[in-house]
Amino acid sequence: MSKLIIGNQKMYMNREDVISFVEMLKTVSCDDVIVCPSFPYLEYYKDVVKVGAQNVSTADNGAYTGEVSSSQLQSLNVPYCIVGHSERREYQKETDEEINQKINKLLEKNITPILCIGEKMEERQNKSTETVIKRELDADLKGLSTETVEKIIIAYEPIWAIGTGLTPTSEEIDDAMQFIKNYLKERLNVMNITVLYGGSVSEKNVDELNTIASIDGYLIGGASSKPDAFKYIIASQSK
C-alpha cells in the first residue's frame, strides 16, 4: 500500500534550491506528498504540492517577534503543521504543555498537526521506549476527544535515528507502530489514526521500509531536501 510522504526540509534550503526542488516536484505525482519548508518558502510550493509549516506559536496574535500564529497559517491556506519535533524540544526547550497548546491552536483553525514523538538512545537501551511514547502521547494529546485525535498525524521518530543514518530494525519499527495504534485504541478508543515513521529514511532504505505494513507513511528530514533522493522515495510508492 502506498504511504504518505512528508518532507521536513528544516532550515536546509535557500531560494534557488527551493525553485529547482519545485521543478522536480512538477515531474512526479504528488497526491500523497506534503512538503514542510521554512516559512518564507511555503508559497513557492503551494501550486505543486500540499504544504505544512514546521512550527506554530502558542499565542493567537500580538507582540511576539519572530513567531507565526495558527490564524496566519490559516490565512495562507496551510493545511498541515509539524509540532513537537525533537529539535524544537531540545533547542527551544519546548515542553509537552506547549506542544499541547500548539495542537489546540492548530485544530481550532482546521490545520492538521503532525505530532512528533520518540525516545532517546539511552531510553531505548534501558527499554523505556514504550514508557516515553505513552508519556508523550498522554501529555501532548491531553484533553482531546477521540474524534479530534483521529484528525492528528503521529510521527514516531526515535531521536537517535534522526540525521544519524541509524534506524531501528524493521521489527522494532513495527512494534512501535503497533504499540502507538493499540495504546490510542485502548486509551481513547481511537480506531483510525495515521502513524508515520521518521529517522534517516532515504532512497537507500525506503524499499525495505515500504514492506512494513503498519507504517502509514514517513516523515523525512535530510532526504527531503535532496531532489533525487526525494524523487526516488516518491516513485517507490508506485512500484
Nearer to ligand PEP (CB atom), residue 201 or residue 206: 201
Residue nearer to ligand PEP on the CB measure, 49 or 229: 229
User: If 0-12 CB within 10 Å is exposed, 13-18 middle and 19+ buried, where does residue 211 land?
Assistant: exposed
Binding residue for ligand PEP, selected from 5, 199, 226, 230, defined by CB under 6 A: 199
State the minimum distance, in angstroms, from the CB of residue 159 to ligand PEP. 9
Cβ-contact 154, 117 below 8 angstroms: yes
Q: Give me the catalytic one of 94, 119, 123, 157.
A: 157
Q: According to the binding rule CB under 6 A, does residue 163 interact with ligand PEP?
A: yes
| Residue of closest CB approach to ligand PEP | 221
Q: Which residue in 3, 4, 5, 8 binds ligand PEP (CB under 6 A)?
A: 8
Instruction: Show the site string, 200-239: x = touches ligand PEP by CB under 6 A, - = not.
Output: xx-----------------xxxxx----------------
- Which residues between 139 and 158 bind ligand PEP (CB under 6 A)? 157
Binders of ligand PEP among residues 87 to 146 (CB under 6 A) are: none
Active-site residue, from 85, 98, 119, 123: 85
Nearest Cα residue to 84 out of 135, 150, 147: 135
Nearer to ligand PEP, 55 or 188 (CB): 55
Residue with cell 490559516: 74
Give min distance, CB of 236 to ligand PEP, in A: 15
Active site residue 172: no
Could you give the CA distance from residue 232 to residue 169 in angstroms, rounded to a whole number? Answer: 22
What does DSSP assign to residue 161? Answer: G
We find the least distance from the C-beta atom of residue 201 to ligand PEP, in angstroms, to be: 5
Classify residue 175 as left (phi > 0), alpha (psi -120 to 50) or beta: alpha
> Could you tell me if 224 and 38 are in contact, meaning their C-beta atoms sit under 8 angstroms apart?
no
- Alpha-carbon dihedral 121, 123, 127, 130, rounded to 10 degrees: -110
Closer CB to ligand PEP, 4 or 219, in the complex = 219
Specify whether the CB–CB gap between 139 and 117 falls below 8 A.
Answer: no
Q: 184 and 149 in contact (C-beta within 8 Å)?
A: yes
Q: Count the site residues for ligand PEP by CB under 6 A.
A: 13
* Cα(36)–Cα(55) distance, integer angstroms: 10
CB of 119 or CB of 157, closer to ligand PEP = 157
Residues 219 and 27: their CA atoms lie apart, in Å, by 21
- Known active-site residue 90: no
Residues with catalytic roles: 85, 157
What residues line the site for ligand PEP (CB under 6 A)? 8, 157, 162-163, 198-201, 219-223
